[in-house]
Amino acid sequence: MSEIYITKYKKEHKPDLIKFLAYFYKTLNYETRKKLFVWRYESNPYINSPFIYLAFDGKKIIGFRAFVIQKFILKDKKFLLGTPADAVVHPQYRRKGLFSKLTEYAIDDMDKNSNIRFLVSLSANSASEAGNIKLGFVPIGKRKYVYKISLSNTLKSIYRNNRFQKRDISIGKNIKIEISKELRSDDISKLMNNFLNKNKIRNLKDDKFYNWVFGSSSNDYIYVYYIKNDVLLGYICLEKKSRLLYSLVEYGYTQQHIIKQLIEVISKEISIPFLRLYIFTKDNKEKSLFFDCGFRGENDILMKFLKKMNLLIIEDGAGMLIKPVSRDVNNNKFCIDGIDTRSPSNWCLFSSDIH
């Protein structure tokens, strides 16, 4: 009789694991699954080996639980943070507690053998949210987005040519806005390092982060740069999610008028019908800036109408689920130098941080 056991992933498991992941990535072929796996887990610049855990029945993989590791910073203190990512159990072994056992094994392993300080989930669905809460994760706030909607751009999207074209738009002496597929990772990292609040818990966002998350990804990203005298003073990263929906994945600026100009330009030049922005940790001042740019909250009348007509899907769920990497959890474990990680106002997060 075979024995069910859990172990940490090793490279020799890779071929069988890529085959097994067909239960998770149901529409992807083997090579596409492999490419995605390599990008998400093996290309991570912040770890030497992936934090992936497998359940076996004899020699057969029957369960998979993976974590994406990122480097975060508060003031000058850097630490690793794990995001629960892909997970799947073989159909014949579901409802037997394997998901919980995989997660518990992973937390014990991280506690003993890593310097990962927290596990944070930013995109849990209702089922995984309930499961994570049972495992000790604390739900914080509500997931929140705002949307900029253009009905005229919606009509244009029906007839326009979807082929991307690089554009340089002069808007003043030695000032241009560049719409490009080129990732300027070093320039973006410098801009974001100055833009982000040092007193907030935030992603380190060094050039390694950008080359990994954006540069090596197969996602359809567009970069919009505000450049004056060859210096980057503002930027937006867009991800095309569908013909109608774009996500404002990340942004940074030196002055508020710059981000307003960038949003005005992309609305006109790219003709975006629906533009979505993640605002879970944004303060009222930052929210007001985007409302001034024409974004609408989820309670707006037009938003409710579009949702009712199934033209727009508004995600529900907790803004964040967090758990210290420890079986022995108390209030102090949730704090970094007196800063409570359970308060959204102590974080600065973007869609680029969600995995």
Specify the CATH number for the domain of residue 194.
3.40.630.30
Same domain, 139 and 150: no
pLDDT of residue 187: 98
**Judgement on whether residues 152 and 163 belong to the same structural domain of the protein:** yes
Instruction: Flag whether pLDDT at 45 surpasses 80.
Output: yes
| Same domain, yes or no: 108 and 72 | yes
Residue 336 buriedness (CB in 10 A; 0-12 / 13-18 / 19+): middle
- List, for residues 158-197, the tens digit of each pLDDT value: 777 667 889 999 999 999 999 999 999 999 999 999 999 9
pLDDT at 221 over 70: yes
Q: Indicate whether 172 and 246 sit together in one domain.
A: yes
Percentage above 90 pLDDT, the chain = 78
Range of the domain at 157: 145-308
Please give the span between the terminal C-alpha atoms of the chain, in angstroms, as a whole number: 38
SS3 304: helix
pLDDT tier at 299, thresholds 50, 70, 90: confident
136 and 166 assigned to the same domain: no
Question: How far, CA to CA in Å, does 253 sit from each of 12, 44, 281?
Answer: 45, 27, 17
Q: Are residues 272 and 341 in the same domain?
A: no
Same domain, 202 and 303: yes
11 three-class SS: helix
Task: Tell me what the mean pLDDT of segment 55-77 comes to.
Answer: 96
For residues 290 and 240, membership in a common domain is answered with: yes
Say whether both 194 and 257 belong to one domain: yes
Overall average pLDDT of the 45-69 stretch: 97
Confidence of residue 291 (pLDDT cuts 50, 70, 90): very high
* Stated pTM of the model: 0.92
> At 69, is the secondary structure helix, strand, or coil?
strand
β-strands 175-180, 167-172 pairing: antiparallel
Instruction: Say how far apart CA 352 and CA 355 lie, in whole Å.
Output: 8
pLDDT score of 355 more than 50? yes
Contact 13, 61 (CB under 8 A): yes
Q: Do residues 65 and 118 share a domain?
A: yes
Question: In this structure, are 193 and 326 located in the same domain?
Answer: no
Do 121 and 224 share a domain, yes or no? no
Confidence of residue 132 (pLDDT cuts 50, 70, 90): confident
Query: Is residue 228 within 8 Å of residue 175, measured between CB atoms?
Result: yes
Where does the chain show beta strands of DSSP type E? 4-8, 51-57, 60-74, 77-89, 116-121, 138-142, 145-149, 167-172, 175-180, 201-203, 221-228, 231-240, 245-253, 274-278, 318-324, 335-336, 339-340, 347-348
Q: How far apart are CA 317 and CA 104, in angstroms?
A: 23
More confident residue, 314 or 337: 337
Query: CA of 233: how far to CAs of 28, 145, 204, 256, 259, in Å?
Result: 39, 25, 19, 11, 10
How many separate domains does the chain show? Answer: 2
Helices (H), 160-300: 185-195, 207-210, 256-269, 284-292
Closest CA relative to residue 142, chosen from 274, 339, 278, 331: 278
pLDDT of residue 1: 46
What mean pLDDT do residues 125-143 have? 87
